[in-house]
Amino acid sequence: NASLLGILQHPDGTVLKQLQPPPRGPREQEFYNKVYDSDCCDSILLELREYLPKYFGVWSPPTAPNDTYLKLEDVTRKFNKPCIMDVKIGQKSYDPYASAEKIQQQVSKYPLMEEIGFLVLGMRVYHVSSDSYETQNQHYGRSLTKETVKDGISKFFHNGYCLRKDAIAASIQKIEKILAWFEGQKQLNFYASSLLFVYEGLCQATTVRLSDVTLAEKRGVPKGLLSGGDILEYNNNIHVINSTENGKIEASVSKGLSKFYALHKKAYSKRHHSQLSLKVENLEQDNVWKSSTCITQEHLNGNVIPQLEKVFCHMPAEIKDSTNVEVRMIDFAHVFPSNTKDEGYIYGLKNLITVLQNILDN
First to last CA, the chain: 30
Bridge pairing between strands 188-190 and 335-337: antiparallel
pLDDT, tens only, 217-245: 333 444 444 333 333 333 333 333 233 33
Number of H helices, E strands in the chain: 11, 19
For 115, the enclosing helix (H) or strand (E) is helix 113-116
Q: What is the mean pLDDT of the chain?
A: 76
- How far is 218 from 233, CA to CA, in rounded Å? 15
Whether 283 shows a pLDDT value over 80: the answer reads no
Segment of 108-117, 260-269, 290-299 carrying the highest mean pLDDT: 108-117
- How far is 178 from 167, CA to CA, in rounded Å? 17
Single-letter amino acid, residue 64: A
Determine the pLDDT at residue 179: 99
Q: Identify which of 220, 203, 227 has the alpha carbon closest to the alpha carbon of residue 257.
A: 220
- How far is 139 from 136, CA to CA, in rounded Å? 8
Q: What percent of the chain has pLDDT over 90?
A: 64
Per-residue pLDDT band for 203 (boundaries 50, 70, 90) equals confident
Whole-angstrom CA distances from 149 to 134, 141, 145, 338 are 18, 8, 6, 31
Determine the pLDDT at residue 214: 35
- How far is 210 from 213, CA to CA, in rounded Å? 5
- How far is 318 from 206, CA to CA, in rounded Å? 10
Helices 165-183 and 343-361 cross at an angle (nearest 10°) of 160
Determine the pLDDT at residue 240: 34
Least confident of 121-135, 186-200, 201-215: 201-215
Spatial CB neighbours of 156, under 8 Å, sequence gap ≥ 6: 83, 85, 120, 123, 125, 197
The three-class DSSP label of residue 159 is: coil
What's the rounded mean pLDDT across residues 181-200?
A: 98
Determine the pLDDT at residue 268: 26
- How far is 2 from 133, CA to CA, in rounded Å? 14
pLDDT, tens only, 39-49: 999 999 999 99
Neighbours of 125 (CB within 10 A): 22
pLDDT, tens only, 301-328: 445 544 555 555 655 444 455 569 999 9
Q: Identify which of 249, 325, 323 has the alpha carbon closest to the alpha carbon of residue 84.
A: 325
What's the rounded mean pLDDT across residues 260-271?
A: 25
What's the rounded mean pLDDT across residues 70-93?
A: 97
The three-class DSSP label of residue 99 is: coil
Determine the pLDDT at residue 344: 98
Q: Identify which of 79, 90, 83 has the alpha carbon closest to the alpha carbon of residue 123.
A: 83
Spatial CB neighbours of 199, under 8 Å, sequence gap ≥ 6: 79, 82, 83, 157, 164, 167, 170, 171, 324, 325, 326
Determine the pLDDT at residue 362: 87
List the beta bridge partners of residue 175: none
Whole-angstrom CA distances from 221 to 131, 209, 224 are 10, 17, 9
Give just the sign of the alpha carbon dihedral 300, 303, 304, 305: positive
Per-residue pLDDT band for 297 (boundaries 50, 70, 90) equals very low
Single-letter amino acid, residue 53: P
Q: Identify which of 253, 128, 118, 142 has the alpha carbon closest to the alpha carbon of residue 201.
A: 128
- How far is 358 from 229, CA to CA, in rounded Å? 35
Whether 197 shows a pLDDT value over 50: the answer reads yes
User: For residues 207 and 214, is the Cβ–Cβ distance under 8 A?
Assistant: yes
- How far is 55 from 70, CA to CA, in rounded Å? 8
Determine the pLDDT at residue 307: 53
